A and B are shown apart, each in its own frame.
Chain A
Amino acid sequence: MLIDLTLCMGCNACQAACKEENHLSPNEEKNLSLTAYTALNKYSDVYVRRLCQHCDVPTCVSVCPVGALVKQGDGPVAYDADKCIGCRYCLQACPYHVPKYEWSSTKPRIQKCRFCAPRLAKGQLPACAEACPVGATLFGDRDELLLEAARRLGAEPTKYVPRIYGKDDVGGTSMFYLSSVPFEQLGFDSRLGRVPLPMLTMSALSKVPNVLSVGGVVLGGIWWITNRRTEVAAFEAAEKKGETPRPEEKP
Chain B
Amino acid sequence: MKIRLLPRITGWQAISTTLILAGTLAAIARFTYGLGATTNLTDEFPWGLWIGFDFLGIGLAASGFTIVAAVNIFHAKEYEPIVRPAILTAFIGYLLVVLVLIIDLGRPDHFWHPLVMWNPHSVMCEISWCLMLYTSVLSLEFAPIILEKVKITWPIKWIHAISLPLMIVGVLLSTLHQSSFGSLYLIVPNRLHALWYTPLLPVLFFISCIASGIAMILLESLILSRGGRELLSTHLRANLAKIIAITLAVYFVVRVEDLLARGALHELTTLTYYSVAFYTELLVGFVVPFALLLSERIRTSRLGLYSATLMVLAGFAFNRMNTAITGLEVYPTQTYFPSLIEIFIMLGITALGFTVFSYVVKYLPIFEAVEEAGPQVQQEAATGRPEPIYLTRDDGGMESS
The answer to whether A binds B is: yes
Contact with A along B108-143 (1 / 0, CB 8 A): 101101100111111111111000000000000000
Contact with A along B30-54 (1 / 0, CB 8 A): 0111111100011110110000000
The prevalent SS among residues of B at the interface is helix
Which A39-83 residues sit within 8 Å CB-CB of chain B? 59, 61-68, 83
Partner among B75, B168, B179 whose Cβ is within 8 Å of the Cβ of A229: B75
Q: Is the CB of B122 within 8 A of A64?
A: yes
Which segment, of A6-14, A98-106, A127-135, A140-148, faces chain B?
A: A98-106
**Neighbouring B residues of A108 by C-beta, 8 Å:** 34-36, 106-107
**Neighbouring A residues of B74 by C-beta, 8 Å:** 222-223, 226
- How far does the alpha carbon of A71 sit from the alpha carbon of B72 in the complex, in Å? 47
**Neighbouring A residues of B187 by C-beta, 8 Å:** 59, 62-63, 93, 197-198, 200-201
Q: Is the CB of B105 within 8 A of A219?
A: no
**Neighbouring A residues of B21 by C-beta, 8 Å:** none
Which segment, of B56-64, B169-177, B351-359, faces chain A?
A: B169-177
Task: Number of B interface residues at 8 Å Cβ cutoff, please give it.
Answer: 58
Task: Please tell me if A92 contacts chain B, counting CB pairs below 8 Å.
Answer: yes
Task: Please tell me if A238 contacts chain B, counting CB pairs below 8 Å.
Answer: no
- How far does the alpha carbon of A222 sit from the alpha carbon of B125 in the complex, in Å? 30
Task: Please tell me if A216 contacts chain B, counting CB pairs below 8 Å.
Answer: yes
Task: Number of A interface residues at 8 Å Cβ cutoff, please give it.
Answer: 55
Least Cβ distance of B210 to chain A in Å?
A: 15
Least Cβ distance of B48 to chain A in Å?
A: 10
Q: Is the CB of A197 within 8 A of B114?
A: no
Residue of A202, A205, A215 ringed by the most chain B CB atoms within 10 A: A205
Task: Please tell me if A162 contacts chain B, counting CB pairs below 8 Å.
Answer: no
**Neighbouring B residues of A204 by C-beta, 8 Å:** 123, 179-180, 183, 186, 202
Q: Is the CB of A211 within 8 A of B121?
A: no
**Neighbouring A residues of B365 by C-beta, 8 Å:** none
Residue of A107, A208, A226 ringed by the most chain B CB atoms within 10 A: A208
Binding site for B on A (CB under 8 A): 59, 61-68, 83-89, 91-93, 95, 97, 99-108, 189, 191-192, 197-198, 200-205, 208, 211-212, 215-216, 219-220, 222-223, 226-227, 229-230
Query: Lowest 6 A-B CB distances belong to which pairs?
Result: A86-B106, A103-B36, A65-B124, A226-B75, A88-B46, A65-B125
Can you list 21 A-B pairs with a CB-CB distance of less than 8 A?
Answer: A63-B121, A63-B124, A63-B187, A64-B119, A64-B122, A67-B118, A83-B117, A86-B108, A87-B105, A91-B43, A92-B47, A93-B188, A95-B190, A101-B46, A105-B36, A203-B186, A208-B176, A219-B172, A223-B72, A223-B164, A223-B168
Taking A65-B113, A101-B106 as known contacts, 7 extra A-B pairs with beta carbons closer than 8 A to each other, sorted by chain A number, are A62-B122, A65-B124, A83-B117, A204-B183, A205-B126, A205-B183, A216-B168
